[in-house]
Structure 1
Amino acid sequence: MSDEREKFSQRLTQAMQQSGYEPRPAVLFRLFNAKYRGRSVSFQTTSRWLGGRGIPAQDKLQVLADLFGIEPHALRFGLPHRSRVAEPRTPWPAGTGSRERHVIETFLALPPKRRELVAELVKALSEG
């Protein structure tokens, strides 16, 4: 395993943890393929990324960076010695699993009209 791939794996693991996700291939597999609009990647591919045996192509790197709120360059190469000011990410409440986070993120990506519909459904279900 190359040093470059190992360092990428460490940055990806850290980005997942800071976003409240377990750094496991199955979690990354589901998250990535739900967001990526190209041909889905295999479980083995996400395992290689987290295991220090592979680095994704630029289009996939961009999706990973978006998923975990990190600049693609920083995910791929690490941060320079000076860091930039960034808005802190609010951590998820304790006990919130990856499935719940995925549902919320999917809801937030919906157009406003569909969000209203989902909100009405949730309200109706919570009243019953």
Structure 2
Amino acid sequence: MKTEQDAFSERLRAGLRQAGMSESPAELVRLLARFGGEPVSQQAVSGWLNGRAMPRQANLRALARMLSIEPQQLQFGDDKRVREARGEWKVNPHDQLAIEAFLKLPAAQRKLVRNLIEELARHVAPGKAAKKPR
């Protein structure tokens, strides 16, 4: 008989696969904070992924936000896929081409680009927008 933790683990792993994300506890610990979660250890995340434990509500909500699903769906399951509405972005043609090129890259190269963007974003002063490209 499947436990609640086992069922949650299956839903979490399926959500990560659908989102094209890694099942790496180290990466999930890092991302969890960016999505409003509380600090946890890699061992705690490993427990979630392997059906040994359930996250606290704050981390459940952060995981759901990360996966663009409703927290209730992640916690309890549901046959319907409920997605959060994502806002439309106004993107200039040069940026659109860059995004399309990015999406064609192999996963390892996309990860490098994401890491570069995160590093560059750390050096932008809060409240200051980046200069427009010429």
> TM-score normalized by structure 1?
0.67
Q: CA deviation at 1:27?
A: 1.6
Name the residue aligned to 1:68: 67
For CA contacts below 8 A with separation 6 or more, give which structure has more relative contact order: 1
1:1-128 pair list within 5 angstroms: 3-36=3-36, 38=38, 40-80=39-79, 83=80, 86=83, 93=103, 94-95=106-107, 96-97=110-111, 100=114, 103=117, 113-114=127-128, 116-117=129-130, 120=131, 123=133
Percent of residue pairs bearing the same amino acid type: 33
> For the residues of structure 2 that align with 1:42 and 1:17, how far apart are their CA atoms?
22
Q: In angstroms, what is the RMSD of aligned CA positions? A: 3.7
Aligned-partner SS, 1:97: helix
- Change beyond 3 A, Cα 1:86–1:70: closer
State the AA in 1 paired with 2:4. E
Unaligned runs of 5+ residues in structure 1 are none
Q: Deviations over 1:28-84 (max 9, x none)?
A: 11111233364x11111111111111101111111110111010000001004xx26
Aligned residues: 112
> For the residues of structure 2 that align with 1:24 and 1:35, how far apart are their CA atoms?
16
> TM-score normalized by structure 2?
0.64
Tell me if structure 1 keeps the 8 A contact 2:70–2:82.
no
